[in-house]
Chains A and B, each alone.
Chain A
Amino acid sequence: MGAYIIRRLLIGLVVLFFVTVILFILMNLMPGDPITAYIPPEVLAQAGPEYIEIRREQLGLNKPVVVRYFIWLNELVHGNMGYSVQNGEPVLSRIKERIGATFELTGTALLLAIIIGIPIGIISAVKQYSIVDSLVTLFSFTGVSIPVFFLGLGLIYVFSLRLNLLPTGGLATIGAPPSLLDKLSHLIMPAFVLSVANLAQFARYTRSSILDELGQDYVRTARAKGVKELRVLFYHILRNGMIPLITVIALQIPLLFGGAVITEQVFSWPGMGRLALEAIMQRDYPLLMGITTVIAILVLIANLLADILYAVVDPRIRYQ
């Protein structure tokens, strides 16, 4: 088990290295110059003729890509992710300011997706072809295809404007003393919106996974032993059915970060998503590199956790 984890970790580091190389190349292939991208033309016009050159020099953008990559990597190894082109703030501190909020949002969304999606999937598998099942199938199709943006605004309209139950966005009520209830009331809508696609996905996968397992021979064996149906489901089937779901969940995590970009926009949630969007629009390479690297690391960690969880759940992997 220890060797297994170490092997995965090493593979992860190698993957990370290549991910950063590819990201760096991609970013440099992206058309558009960071300086003209972030400074409006009319402002630039006042700044003096050599302004762009001066900034390029200051930011080290004149060096060849390979050199820049290694400078960046060297800094990264020493714990420095560079400085934002836009305002010169350290990338790490800009990320740090926002990563907590993103975690809160994506974590809650993932949790919601799991604790709602999986039971829904189980019910619809057990009651295959029932009305409940059809409803769940319908829901999972709409859930996967409904745009986050649309859903978010719709919910704001209903719950904030018409029913006046929930705030329109933000982390907490401005000026109010911090309280759990206030926090939750701000969190629930964005987390739900972000989770819907995943939730539907999880429900769908759980359903098909459980259906698969229901037809397995060992299920028949368990029943032939006289095991109660509930125990067959929760003790025998569920653990097997979870194995493919672990992969599905791990694969959803990067998508969750992607979804957070829009959700954060809609709900004025001060997370990394908004920062990422800005970084892309403004070709803020160091910032974008920092954000993507952080996300790549998180995704790798999620995969590692999934691998470990895999081994915990499935002895066939553990004893290889």
Chain B
Amino acid sequence: MKIVKKIWLVGLAVLLVSLMSFSPAMAVKEGGTLNLHINKTPDSLWPLTATCRRATYLFELTYNYLVGFNDANEIVPQLAESWDVSDDGLTYTFHLRKGVKFHDGYPFTAKDVEFTYTLLANKKAASLFFGKVEPVKGAKAYYDGEANKVDGIQVVDDYTIKFVLEKPNAAFLSNLMFPIVPEHIFGKIPVDQLATSPESQKLIGTGPFKLVKYVTDQYYEFECFDDYWQGKPHIEKIYVKIAKADVAIAMLEKGEIDYIPEFPPSELDYVKSLPNLKILTQTNTTWPWAWCFNLKRSYFKDKRVRQAIAYALDRQGFVDSVLRGYGTVVNFPNTNARWAWPDPSEINQYPYNPEKAKTLLKEAGWDPDRVIEILYYPGNKERDQFATIGQQMLKNVGIKADVVCMDVARAVEKFHKGNFDILQTGASAQPDPDYQSLYFESSKVIPAGDNITSYANKRVDELFKKGRKTFDPAERAKIYKEINKILNDELPWIIICEPMHVSVVNKRVHGMHFNPNIIAFRDPARLLDIHKWWLE
């Protein structure tokens, strides 16, 4: 009931604590070298095709987006200094910042914005982000090769650009978080060769740091960009080191790494014993962990069965023991958009209650001899543990289950064929709640979309459609609140919890400010204000 409030409180506390710990009494120092960790070499550094989340860290060092988010989750200027939206909600006019330079000294203009977003709509570019520009007028025609430009993207002058949409889309602005790449470099390269061109791996952007060196599978070396539009960064040099997580912890202790942005909570006890380190958390993640039911299975059709399973799982216990408390139990597919959250009193919290689970199962006529399968793919050390923990809890209420672990490729193939009972997975949340339609709109049922559970509810479909057309914040909020209430009751997914985002950093690093919400064009958003960081 009070969960949501609790989240708020924790978030606030973290904010306050972080503000206090970076007390302005200390004088900012210039220079020094920061060592960052990622656990895998990103497959590519080309923003359009890079699939690896770790690439986002490098993008945050080197690129800027048109817009950003503040702590209150509002959209704020970045490369776009301001924007106007037409009354019909169809035309967005962006006024771009002047004096912004790319790493090679070239000025940033509307041409670059036009180029970047046109590229996203170019089929030949094999961009993974066509979805971001799809609402723009003519994007689809361009994508299909029926037009030679995107009609809706219109450069007015060097510092003004217009986006005209096909139909109103409330989520459009937040979709604009995408690295702006320089036209003067990439415009010369044939589109289908862009992703594999050596230039595409050089991270030439407008961001606070520039890439100077990459040593295969070892590290990336960055230098501060003197002409950065938000001012020259305090830190002189950054090494992004690639190492396995276990080893990274050793390197952290040795001082070879200053900052591990993604830290496994189960290792935190050890870190707490080390005086030179501090733990940072972001309360709200974009990555809830869930059990998804295959609703095509006759025995999951009765929602009482799903509800029984929710009661059977001691999720808070899991958060406390395995996640060391660094997580929050939630009861609807969450998003960062707090405004879309229903009031806690309106939703069922499914507290741990095996007796109630048993009763519900009996009512629903659950066959105690049935053996179901919990499918998961190794993804996160802590999350993976839940499969067996959950199996045990199900046993306690009389549900027999097997745990099946497969690598991602095999698991995806299996669940795309609808050949599963329960899939344990992590889902990515986007800033705008509309993203939930990916998983719950009936037109997105696998394999066509990502509606893994094959959930279909006419009312929910209607609401999603309405939500995209509604601009009045209060109206919109009502719509998504209703969706979440329905999902909370019907439980196509049981959200296990939302793990807090845990980073560990050496105390010599100062000036870090964490947006309590993680919002970016892709997950991380840990380095967005790195130009303000400084080293002792």
Do A's and B's CB atoms come within 8 Å in the complex? yes
Please state if A47 and B450 are interface contacts (CB–CB under 8 Å).
no
Tell me the chain A residues, 260-312 only, with Cβ under 8 Å from chain B. 265-271, 274-275, 278, 281-283
- CB B20 to nearest CB in A, in angstroms, measures 32
Please state if B217 and A270 are interface contacts (CB–CB under 8 Å).
yes
* A283-B409 contact in complex given A54-B126, A83-B196, A171-B218, C-beta closer than 8 Å: yes
Tell me the chain B residues, 196-215 only, with Cβ under 8 Å from chain A. 196, 215
* A87-B217 contact in complex given A40-B428, A43-B128, A47-B131, C-beta closer than 8 Å: no
Which of B240-248, B344-352, B467-475, B510-518 lies at the interface? B240-248
Please state if A31 and B254 are interface contacts (CB–CB under 8 Å).
no
- CB A217 to nearest CB in B, in angstroms, measures 54
Tell me the chain B residues, 383-416 only, with Cβ under 8 Å from chain A. 407-410, 412-414, 416
Chain B residues whose CB sits within 8 angstroms of the CB of A160 once the complex forms? 250, 254
Chain A residues whose CB sits within 8 angstroms of the CB of B438 once the complex forms? 42, 45
Please state if A39 and B450 are interface contacts (CB–CB under 8 Å).
no
Tell me the chain B residues, 502-534 only, with Cβ under 8 Å from chain A. 522
Interface check B239, CB cutoff 8 A: yes
- CB A149 to nearest CB in B, in angstroms, measures 9
Chain B residues whose CB sits within 8 angstroms of the CB of A265 once the complex forms? 244
Chain B residues whose CB sits within 8 angstroms of the CB of A169 once the complex forms? 243, 247, 251
Instruction: Identify the closest chain A residue to B286 (Cβ).
Output: A42
Interface check A58, CB cutoff 8 A: yes
Interface string of B98-133 (1 = CB under 8 A from A): 000000000000000000000000010011111110
* A43-B51 contact in complex given A36-B413, A98-B217, A270-B216, C-beta closer than 8 Å: yes
CA distance A80 to B33 in the complex (A): 41
CA distance A274 to B251 in the complex (A): 19
Please state if B128 and A51 are interface contacts (CB–CB under 8 Å).
yes
Tell me the chain B residues, 474-490 only, with Cβ under 8 Å from chain A. none
Interface check A86, CB cutoff 8 A: yes
CA distance A30 to B410 in the complex (A): 8
Chain B residues whose CB sits within 8 angstroms of the CB of A171 once the complex forms? 215, 218
Chain A residues whose CB sits within 8 angstroms of the CB of B247 once the complex forms? 153, 156, 168-169, 266-268
* A161-B126 contact in complex given A40-B428, A45-B450, A171-B218, C-beta closer than 8 Å: no
Please state if B244 and A266 are interface contacts (CB–CB under 8 Å).
yes
Interface check B314, CB cutoff 8 A: no
Interface string of A47-83 (1 = CB under 8 A from B): 1110100110010000000000000000000000001
Please state if A270 and B412 are interface contacts (CB–CB under 8 Å).
no
Please state if A281 and B407 are interface contacts (CB–CB under 8 Å).
yes
Chain A residues whose CB sits within 8 angstroms of the CB of B239 once the complex forms? 174-175
Interface check B226, CB cutoff 8 A: no
- CB A218 to nearest CB in B, in angstroms, measures 51
Interface check A147, CB cutoff 8 A: no
Interface check B219, CB cutoff 8 A: yes
Interface check B267, CB cutoff 8 A: no
Interface check B343, CB cutoff 8 A: no
Please state if B413 and A33 are interface contacts (CB–CB under 8 Å).
yes
Residue of A47, A88, A153, A266 near B128 (CB, 8 A) is: A47
Please state if B409 and A32 are interface contacts (CB–CB under 8 Å).
yes
Residue of A40, A49, A161, A174 near B241 (CB, 8 A) is: A174
Interface check A157, CB cutoff 8 A: yes
CA distance A45 to B435 in the complex (A): 10
Interface check B25, CB cutoff 8 A: no
Interface check B427, CB cutoff 8 A: yes
Chain A residues whose CB sits within 8 angstroms of the CB of B221 once the complex forms? 174
- CB B247 to nearest CB in A, in angstroms, measures 6
Chain B residues whose CB sits within 8 angstroms of the CB of A167 once the complex forms? 256
Interface check B195, CB cutoff 8 A: yes
Tell me the chain A residues, 145-168 only, with Cβ under 8 Å from chain B. 153, 156-157, 160-161, 164, 167-168
Residue of A31, A33, A89, A270 near B196 (CB, 8 A) is: A89
Interface check A38, CB cutoff 8 A: yes
Chain B residues whose CB sits within 8 angstroms of the CB of A161 once the complex forms? 250, 253-254
CA distance A86 to B128 in the complex (A): 12
Residues of B within 8 A of A (CB): 33, 40-41, 43-44, 46, 49, 51, 53, 123, 126-132, 134, 143, 195-196, 215-219, 221, 239, 241-244, 246-247, 250-251, 253-254, 256, 407-410, 412-414, 416, 427-428, 438, 448-450, 522
Can you list 15 A-B pairs with a CB-CB distance of less than 8 A? A48-B130, A54-B123, A86-B51, A101-B216, A157-B250, A160-B254, A167-B256, A168-B250, A168-B256, A169-B251, A170-B241, A171-B215, A174-B219, A265-B244, A268-B217
